[in-house]
Amino acid sequence: MLKKAYSVETKLACIEMKKAGKSNKVITVKVLEELSEVEQLRLQVQLCMEHHFIYGYRTITRLLKKIHGLIVNCKKVYRIMKENSWLCRARPKKMPNIGQPYYVTENKLERDF
C-alpha cells in the first residue's frame, strides 16, 4: 500500500490548524461566509441606488425583499449605506413665514343680543 506524499506547506498548515483547535476553524469559516454575504448585499444595494439617493435605508430594505427576495435586517443595510456614503440626502426643514399678526377688534356687542 502506497502512502500519499504531501508537500511541506500542507503538513505545516495541518499542524497549525490542529494547534488552533476546532473553534477557531469554525469562526474563520463563519467570518468568510459573512464577508461574502456582505459583498453580495453591497452589490444589491448598489443596484437599488439608481434612484439617486431618494430612498432611505428602510425603503431600500423593502425593495431588496420585494425585488430580490432577500430578507435582510435594516440595520445591516443602514451600515452598508453609511460606510459607502449612500444615505438619503436630508432636505432642510421649511420654516413658517411669520407675517403680520391679526388685527384684534373691540368687543362691540359685549354679549348684548
Cα distances (angstroms) measured from residue 77 to each of 54, 62, 88, 90, 106: 15, 10, 12, 18, 61
Convert the pLDDT of each residue in 7-36 to its tens digit: 666 766 666 655 555 555 555 555 555 557
d(CA 29, CA 17): 13
**Residue 71 belongs to some domain of the structure:** yes
Residue 74 domain flag: yes
What's the number of domains the chain is made of? Answer: 1
Residue 51 lies in a domain: yes
Tell me if 49 is assigned to some domain: yes
Question: Which tops the pLDDT comparison, 97 or 19?
Answer: 97
Residue 93 lies in a domain: no
Instruction: Kindly give the residue spans of alpha helices, DSSP state H, lying in the chain.
Output: 8-20, 22-48, 57-63, 74-83
Return d(Cα 88, Cα 56) in angstroms, integer.
5
Q: Please check whether residue 111 lies inside any domain of the structure.
A: no
82 close to 42: Cβ distance less than 8 angstroms: no
* In a domain? residue 96: no
Q: At 75, which amino acid appears?
A: K
Range of the domain at 20: 9-83
